[in-house]
Amino acid sequence: MIKKLTYILFIVLFCFFTLEAGTRLLGIKPGYMENYIGFNTVEKLEVYNLYQLDDFGIYSINTNLFDSLNPYQKEDYPSFVYQENVMEVFEDFQSLSQSIQSDHSALAKYISSCTDSSMSFLLESYLQSPINEEGFRSIPFNKIQSDKKKILLLGDSFVYGLSASPTYYSFADLLLAKGYIVYNTGINGTDPAQYAAILEKYLARLQPDLVLLNFSSASDFMTFPREAKAFKPHEHQTNAGFIESAPLGSFLNAQESYNFYEDFVSIPKSSLAYFLCKHSSALSFLYGLLVDAELVYHPQRSAYFKARKGISDADMAFNTKVPIDKMNALAREFKVPFLNVIIPVKPESRISDKNYNANFVDEESLNISFSSYKYHYPLNLELGDYEKEGVHFNNKGSEKYANYLEELIIQTLKD
């Protein structure tokens, strides 16, 4: 009997220490239930300034960081800069400028053959500074005298061209190479509140012939109502990650946001469980499983999921409708054609099939957000048009989408 109990105890201890080693290898810390994607606990919070906010609440790349880029060394810049695909843009365009005659990209061919002096100046400026003075990955926001059509692009990381490789294979650059004057305002991680603020600021200044909203069916439906405001970014850039500034709908400063997410992943220090788990990542992980199974109450998680559980797809669509209405109204006021174009969700990334049609867009929610406005989406996109490890277009998908946009542009401007 004693031998059997000893054997059972050995098995239990072996499994426990194996789980302890495994959870520590996975990065789970004692006292914390999990590694939350995009968030890391740190001893001292540091706030970065890769992005900036202006008086309109518009979130753009902080160009002050790039005053001495030529030449630059990777090791001189924090890794988060590379993760956000800013430095890669400069590397790609520096390489392009050095091989413009031999590069086979559409943009290189267009730059090489362009005979319009005003356009050549914009293209050369773009080649040397792919992040313009306003903080967008675009040609300069200068009005020029040209018979070429001016297109203002609104959107997030899809418009920025996050997954294009090299960057200038993005659909925004492909449209530029087709002979349009393309003002690209895409910024990673932004939302329709940002797009509306951009349109309000730049529509009169740039006087485009057409505004093109690229609405991501995967991420642009807004969980909470939001207006773009100065000093209130939608996320905080920190050494703990780029963390949401309003996880429960109300704005929090950087330290408050960090505290929220630290509490979200940690075992409450006031609980008995903390004293049992604070030295063991295995026990912390098991505690987290109990919380996820709703067998143990966790105050921060309960508040988080309670706040979001009551938000339906229709609620999110109505939140999104506010900036959509604002954008379409602004375009009507300035008598500028406005195209609402929907970027379909990557087929395998659909959270649920309940609202998605065969072309991977949530028509039920779109019909609420866009109400009486007409919207468009491509019908020919397939899984192979998206990057393998992410949700964005690959180069093939970017080309397909650019061609689709050109069809819409030609038809709209002809009408």
pLDDT of residue 183: 98
Q: Region 303-327: what's the mean pLDDT?
A: 93
The phi, psi pair for 135, rounded to 5°, reads 90, 20
pLDDT at 331: 97
Quickly tell me which residue has 């059972």 as its tokens: 8
> What is the DSSP secondary structure assignment for residue 75, as one 8-state letter?
G
Return d(Cα 95, Cα 91) in angstroms, integer.
Answer: 6
pLDDT confidence tier of residue 69, bands split at 50, 70 and 90: very low
What is the rounded CA–CA span in Å between residue 382 and residue 401? Answer: 11
In whole angstroms, what is the distance from residue 360 CA to residue 347 CA? 6
Q: What are the boundaries of each domain within the chain?
A: 51-226+313-414
Which one has a higher pLDDT value, 126 or 308? 126
Mean of pLDDT values over 216-222: 93
2-41 pLDDT per residue, tens: 777 777 777 877 787 787 788 888 778 888 887 666 788 8
Rounded (to 5) percent helix, strand, coil in the chain: 45, 10, 40
The model's pLDDT over 363-413, given as tens digits with 9 standing for 90+, comes to 999 999 999 899 999 999 999 999 998 899 999 999 999 999 999 999 999
Q: Which residue has the higher pLDDT, 352 or 242?
A: 242
Residue 326, pLDDT > 60, answer: yes
Cβ-based burial of 31 (10 A; exposed 0-12, middle 13-18, buried ≥19): buried
Nearest to 199 by CA among 402, 413, 409, 56: 56
Pairwise CA distance, residues 339 & 44, whole Å: 45
Poorest-confidence range of 62-76, 275-289, 311-325, 376-390? 62-76
**Secondary element (H or E) of residue 153:** strand 150-154
pLDDT digits (tens, 9 = 90+) for 158-185: 999 988 999 999 999 999 999 999 999 9
Nearest to 193 by CA among 313, 312, 307, 326: 326
What is the percent of the chain where pLDDT is above 90?
60
Q: Please indicate whether residue 49 or residue 80 has the higher confidence score (pLDDT).
A: 49
**What own/partner pairs with CB < 8 Å and gap ≥ 24 does 102-105 have?**
105/166, 105/168, 105/169, 105/177
> Which homologous superfamily is 51-226+313-414 in?
SGNH hydrolase (3.40.50.1110)
Contacts of 186 (CB under 8 A, 6+ apart): 136, 137, 153, 154, 155, 156, 157, 158, 159, 160, 161, 172, 214
Q: What's the pLDDT tens digit per position in 248-301?
A: 999 999 999 999 999 998 999 888 888 888 888 888 888 888 888 888 899 998
- DSSP H/E element including 258: helix 254-265
The pLDDT of 314-337, averaged and rounded, is 97
Position 351 pLDDT exceeds 70: no
DSSP 382: -
Q: What is the pTM of this model?
A: 0.91
